Amino acid sequence: MSKGQTIGSTAILPGAAAEAPPEVAATPGKRIALLRVLGPGHVWALGVGIVLVGEYMGWNFAVGKGGPVAALTACWLAGILYTCVAMIDSEITSTVAAAGGQYAQAKHIIGPLAAFNVGLYLVMAYTMLEVSNAIVTGDLIEAFLANHGIPGSVDKRAFMVLTIVALAFLNYRGVLASLTLNLLITAAAFVAIVVLFLATQPWAPGAVLQHQSLFVELPYGSLGILAAMHFGLWFYLGIEGTTQAAEEVRSPARALPLGTMTGMMTLLIAATATWYVCSGLMPWEYLGQAVTPLYDAGRLTGNPYLEVFLFFGTLFATVASANGCINDASRAWFAMGRDRYMPAWFGAVHPTYRTPYRSIVFFVPIAILFAISTPLDQTIAFSILSGLLGYTLMALSIILFRRKWPLGTIARGYVHPMHPLPCALLLILCIVTYVAVFLGYGTQLVAMMTFYITASAWFVLHRYKYVRRGDQFTMHWPRPKGY
Amino acid sequence: MSKVPYEPPKQSVAGQIFDGLLMLVLVGITLYLPLLFKLAGAGTTTREFQSPTWESLGQNATMAAQWEKLGIAPEKAATIIGTRFDYSFNWVALAFTAIIIVGYFIFMFRYSEKEYREVIAERFGDETGPRRS
């Protein structure tokens, strides 16, 4: 699986739907739970799989914003941020175990407007990631054909459009086959990274890797470290998706934190290794703007087989990720339609394929528009910003969660330690990242905020009147303290 | 006494389509148009190099070799190397952006709280009333 991949067997109806999964809805009066079959190893595999595409592209823009050292520092700082995210999300999700992620958590802990915004964060983060993947796919194919001297020219925009339309069609027809395919091609992409790492002989500096000659100090000074934090998030964006497996984990209290934390450690090592290989093969100025850094690394080893392998690795990782993104964005939009946060028309399921077909098709034009006309760093910035807003909300949400249902009042699968230290740390790192985004991408930040503020105003002034109030709270919990 | 469940109005199909299209338009106006008109984008400065060579671009022999392996000549590399982020700090702009973000979260939490009380009142009834199942 890849960034943006829906997990678990509630493939048709995650999000709010998980509160009343299709199996349950089909059998009135009898509650059927999902099978609790997953252990820490599965949670680990889910986490690593979700984030894998982040190793293939996007992370390297952190090098452009601050140089190689700044990128590595940002990588580790972002690692701390995501460790806090994983701890907090493990507690909430192991309690709201059937609620399909942050969208439903916000409904139960904060309120409808916050849930509406969280739903939009998910849709925008996944759609912009899908667009980013399509851009990389087009660029990759164009570069590969050019590098191999294949006569004629290709229009990379055609491949971008083809990627989006073909994957939307796959999702329209049914999710099972496409998600199974995702597992296989992501595994191949993972192997490609390992092979690249071994082929560059990191144990023999100077043989292939040239850090001695390519390494530079901080080209922007210490401010570059702060600025690099922006794209540092890309190393791990999506790891919090592991906790959405809470309903299917045998022992959430053990498996969720253990699986997620070991996943984080694996990613820290993998991210550092990716950084090490690439910074030892490319001048930082090139690496900082490369669309396909790992493919370029493969080329620079001089091994044609490795180049082809990394071509397919990049292609697989981006296609799998885009596939998962269409899956997730459409389901978030579908869930919002079903709750009437968006028009109920989007809450329809295809009578034959059992997919949220209207939600799938709805975002295809937007995805194509951005893919063919927007630079990669911009779409990644939009995706990161939506994720960042979600993490900020998460830091505040855990405070409300502990206040409304203090420890001991409801059964928690996992209680994260040292509260409120992780949420304070998360909040501080989120603020640092906002400043990092402001450095160089300030106008995007304001544009994104304008979008969410306008959408919120629209929800408050218009959409909320269509929402059934009592239906927004479906957990079997006692009344929240203070209400 | 329990709160009487709120019954939302039915929305016409035309209204639903209009709302859906409105969201697309909102994405287009707030996110796409600024990019289209180059109003948004990475804040960068550009340095021009006349007849660039690897030496004038500050590239040593290993760096130059890697650029060439990537199929990039000094002329093209000059554009990449000469483009740098502009981190000149504008405190007013930073404060303005901070106010927007903080204001957004304050409004969201305050209004969500108001809505949440309606949800809880309908879901659980008042303190003495029956619980709605």
- Contact state of A473 with B120 under an 8 Å Cβ cutoff: yes
Best B116, B118, B126 residue to mutate vs chain A (most A CBs within 10 Å): B116
Residues 6+ apart with CB under 8 A from B51: none
Asked if the model's pLDDT at residue A100 lies above 60, the reply is: no
- Contact state of B93 with A220 under an 8 Å Cβ cutoff: no
Mean pLDDT of A116-127: 93
Mean pLDDT of A3-17: 38
Mean pLDDT of A312-317: 92
User: Which residues of chain B does A442 touch, with a Cβ-Cβ cutoff of 8 Å?
Assistant: 43, 93, 97
CB A120 within 8 A of CB A103: no
Q: Which residue in B has a C-alpha nearest to residue A215's C-alpha?
A: B63
Amino acid at A7: I
For residue A114, give Cα distances in angstroms to A295, A341, B7, B54: 40, 11, 21, 53
- Distance from B79 to chain A by nearest Cα, in Å? 10
- Distance from A396 to chain B by nearest Cα, in Å? 10
- Distance from A385 to chain B by nearest Cα, in Å? 12
Question: Between A8 and A85, where is the model more confident?
Answer: A85
- Distance from B119 to chain A by nearest Cα, in Å? 5
Mean pLDDT of A330-342: 91
Asked if the model's pLDDT at residue B133 lies above 70, the reply is: no
Best A285, A300, A393, A465 residue to mutate vs chain B (most B CBs within 10 Å): A285
| pLDDT tens per residue across span A203-232 | 999 999 999 999 998 999 999 999 999 999
- A vs B: CB pairs below 8 A: 213
User: Which residues of chain B does A451 touch, with a Cβ-Cβ cutoff of 8 Å?
Assistant: 26-27, 30-31
Give me the residues paired with residue B45 across strands. Answer: B84
Q: Which residue in B has a C-alpha nearest to residue A441's C-alpha?
A: B42
Residue A250 is predicted with a pLDDT of 79
B132 falls in which pLDDT band (50, 70, 90)?
A: very low
Question: Between A93 and B1, where is the model more confident?
Answer: A93
B123 interfacial to chain A (CB closer than 8 Å): yes
Residue A267 is predicted with a pLDDT of 83
* Least confident range of A8-12, A63-67, B62-66: A8-12
Question: Between B96 and A149, where is the model more confident?
Answer: B96
Asked if the model's pLDDT at residue A9 lies above 80, the reply is: no
- Smallest Cβ–Cβ distance between A470 and the set B34, B94, B122 belongs to B122
- Distance from B7 to chain A by nearest Cα, in Å? 7
Structural domain count of chain A: 1
User: Which residues of chain A does B72 touch, with a Cβ-Cβ cutoff of 8 Å?
Assistant: 286
- Contact state of A456 with B108 under an 8 Å Cβ cutoff: yes
B130 falls in which pLDDT band (50, 70, 90)?
A: very low
- Contact state of A443 with B9 under an 8 Å Cβ cutoff: no
CATH of residue A50's domain is 1.20.1740.10
Q: Which residue in B has a C-alpha nearest to residue A128's C-alpha?
A: B31
Assigned domain for A478 exists:
no
**Domain range for residue A195?**
15-472
User: Which residues of chain A does B109 touch, with a Cβ-Cβ cutoff of 8 Å?
Assistant: 110, 114, 396
Strands B83-85, B44-46: pairing is: antiparallel
Residue A243 is predicted with a pLDDT of 64
Q: Which helix H or strand E contains A90, and what residues bound it?
A: helix A68-95
- Contact state of A466 with B32 under an 8 Å Cβ cutoff: no
Asked if the model's pLDDT at residue A16 lies above 50, the reply is: no
Residue A43 is predicted with a pLDDT of 74
Amino acid at B18: F
- Contact state of A362 with B17 under an 8 Å Cβ cutoff: no
- Residues A471/A472/A478/A482 CA torsion (nearest 10 deg): -130
Assigned domain for A4 exists:
no
| pLDDT tens per residue across span A434-456 | 999 999 899 999 999 999 999 99
Q: Is A203 exposed, middle or buried (0-12, 13-18, 19+ CB in 10 A)?
A: exposed
Residue B42 is predicted with a pLDDT of 59
Residue A14 is predicted with a pLDDT of 34
For residue B127, give Cα distances in angstroms to A73, A201, A360: 52, 69, 43
Neighbour count for residue B86 (Cβ, 10 Å): 11
Predicted TM-score (pTM) of the model is 0.89
In the predicted model, what is the mean pLDDT of chain B? Answer: 89
Q: Which helix H or strand E contains A467, and what residues bound it?
A: none
Asked if the model's pLDDT at residue A323 lies above 70, the reply is: yes
Assigned domain for A1 exists:
no
A282 falls in which pLDDT band (50, 70, 90)?
A: very high
What is the ipTM for the molecules in this complex? 0.89
Give me the residues paired with residue B83 across strands. Answer: B46
CB A181 within 8 A of CB A5: no
B127 falls in which pLDDT band (50, 70, 90)?
A: low
- Contact state of A111 with B66 under an 8 Å Cβ cutoff: no
CB A371 within 8 A of CB A440: no
Residue A325 is predicted with a pLDDT of 85
| pLDDT tens per residue across span A418-432 | 999 999 999 999 999
Q: Which two tokens stand for residue A369?
A: 């528009």
CB A364 within 8 A of CB A325: no
Question: Between A170 and A467, where is the model more confident?
Answer: A467
A245 falls in which pLDDT band (50, 70, 90)?
A: low
- Contact state of B115 with A112 under an 8 Å Cβ cutoff: yes
- Distance from B108 to chain A by nearest Cα, in Å? 6
- Contact state of B44 with A440 under an 8 Å Cβ cutoff: yes
Q: Which two tokens stand for residue A242?
A: 């592991």
The single residue listed with the structure tokens 């984008």 is B41
Mean pLDDT of A402-417: 91
Handedness of CA A332, A444, A238, B104 (dihedral sign): negative
DSSP A150: -
